Amino acid sequence: MIKINENYLKLKASYLFADIARRVTAYQHANPEKEIIKLGIGDVTRALPKACIEAFHRAVDEMSSDTTFKGYGPEQGYPFLRKIIARQDYQSRGADIDPDEIFISDGAKCDTGNIQEIFSADTRVAIPDPVYPVYLDTNVMAGRTGDFNDGRYHGIYYLESTRENGFIPELPNQPVELIYLCYPNNPTGATISKEQLTDWVRYAKENKALILYDAAYEAFIRDESIPKTIYEIEGAREVAIEFRSFSKTAGFTGTRCAFTVVPKTCMAYDRKGEKHPLLPLWNRRHATKFNGVSYPVQKAAEAVYSPEGKVQVKELIGDYMKNARLIRKEMTGLGYECVGGDNSPYIWINGKQDSWDFFDMLLNKAGVVCTPGAGFGKCGKGYIRISAFNSYENVQKALKRIRLVL
Ligand code: PLP
């Protein structure tokens, strides 16, 4: 008898965005003439930067001739991309990262979801609340939790991000081994200071723990004092893996390119307490289950680092940040407490009511789609997330409608 992985039965019945999509579809059916403005799911809306498109086209042309055609590439990614990432994203900021510590992939979603495979099944995991749901669900699938009760999975240590702690969780008060952190944060938009991140690195070192640092939104950091990478923190090379993505940086959500950094000095332990470097494990996993990002996509990603690419990416992010500032200003003006929107594309708004009620009200009365905070975890109750990923005109229009109904 073929048996299922019963851990899948523990997963909450509906995935947040599927639930939102269902409500939006129902609204659209009931109101076919109404135009909906989507400020919900964190998908970008603007075209790829010109430098990326040009590099993409050139690489596609290379595929059309036998002499320049590329078949399977290195699973870890082409050296041209790994080298430029190491130099520009890390070494230029004083972070000592080598190209061979970088693994190119087709998304930070897969990487943050897959990384848990290289850790023991009985690993004690600390996960933020509210959270980007992938970290939690993949640990549920892997059997690291008990059942879901009262908004929480048994066996997970929840790192609560609340108004009271400024949306930066306190260090765990019981031992944990695998710690997920995400800054700038999705969904709260909060950022972490060097001092706060230093505390986490110190905690990881003292407790032989490992930090999984999701920096998918680093490109939105404006304030130079905020760390763009965990490797700006001394000692992080021993205790942290970092995830990055071109999705939000350069509009690659539909193009797919990201990378994970596993420093050679990053260690974990076997059951006898002996140290093992994680890089060979991840390399093995990656090469076994993944066959590389397509050559044209990696060429398009490389163009992000070209002089023109950098200017274009800056403009793109600048436009989204103009939206973010406007959303935050308007919602604050309407009397709502807001976090984020200054160094991140998300604005986390204390809705002062049930977050699904607030979501339904904005959808049904203003035709605006946001994301209910409760979908990101218990600590998200009462909050909504508005994203800056849309045109300035649409954001203005959405805010005008919101003003009329609130
Ligand atoms: N990490 C965070 C925190 C995200 O919000 C997202 C996407 O919304 C991802 C990772 C996924 O990125 P990618 O498009 O590279 O899979």
Question: Which protein residues are within 6 Å of ligand 1, measured from CB?
Answer: 42, 107-109, 112, 132, 182, 186, 214, 216, 245, 247, 253, 258
- The H or E element containing residue 51 is helix 50-62
Q: How many CB atoms lie within 10 A of CB 353?
A: 11
CA-to-CA separations, 283 to 70, 117, 236, 270, in angstroms, rounded: 22, 12, 20, 18
Helix extents (H) in 290-370: 295-302, 307-333, 355-361
**What pLDDT is recorded for position 41?**
79
Residue of the nearest CA to atom 3 in ligand 1?
Answer: 186
The answer to pTM > 0.85 is: yes
Indicate which atom in ligand 1 lies nearest the CA of residue 257: 15
Segment-wise mean pLDDT, segments of 10 residues, the chain, 406 residues: 96 78 94 94 92 98 98 97 98 96 98 98 97 95 94 96 97 96 98 98 98 98 97 98 98 98 97 97 97 98 98 97 98 97 97 95 97 95 97 97 94
Residue ranges of domains in the chain, CATH in brackets = 6-45+313-405 (3.90.1150.10), 54-303 (3.40.640.10)
Q: What is the pLDDT of residue 13?
A: 61
Q: How far apart (Å, rounded) are the C-alpha atoms in residues 159 and 130?
A: 8
Output the six-digit token pair for 64: 């059309």
**Residue 351 corresponds to which tokens in the numbers above?**
């809705």
Report pLDDT for 14: 60
The DSSP secondary-structure symbol of 362 reads: I
Contact 204, 179 (CB under 8 A): yes
The set of residues, in sequence order, having a beta carbon less than 8 Å from that of 71 and lying 6+ positions away, is none
Q: Indicate the top mutation candidate among 245, 246, 249 to test ligand 1's pocket, ranked by most ligand atoms within 8 A of CB.
A: 245
Token pair for 309: 């690419």
| Span from the CA of 309 to the centroid of ligand 1 (angstroms) | 21
pLDDT recorded at residue 150: 87
Q: Are β-strands 102-105 and 258-261 bridged in parallel, bridged antiparallel, or unpaired?
A: antiparallel
> In angstroms, what is the span from residue 271 Cα to ligand 1's centroid?
32
157 in Cβ contact with 172 (< 8 Å): yes
Q: Residue type at 140? A: V
DSSP assignment of 81-148, as one string? HHHHHIIIIIGGGT----GGGEEEES-HHHHHHHGGGGS-TT--EEEEES--HHHHHHHHHTT----E
User: What pLDDT does residue 282 have?
Assistant: 98
In degrees and rounded to multiples of 5, residue 347 shows phi and psi of: -120, 125
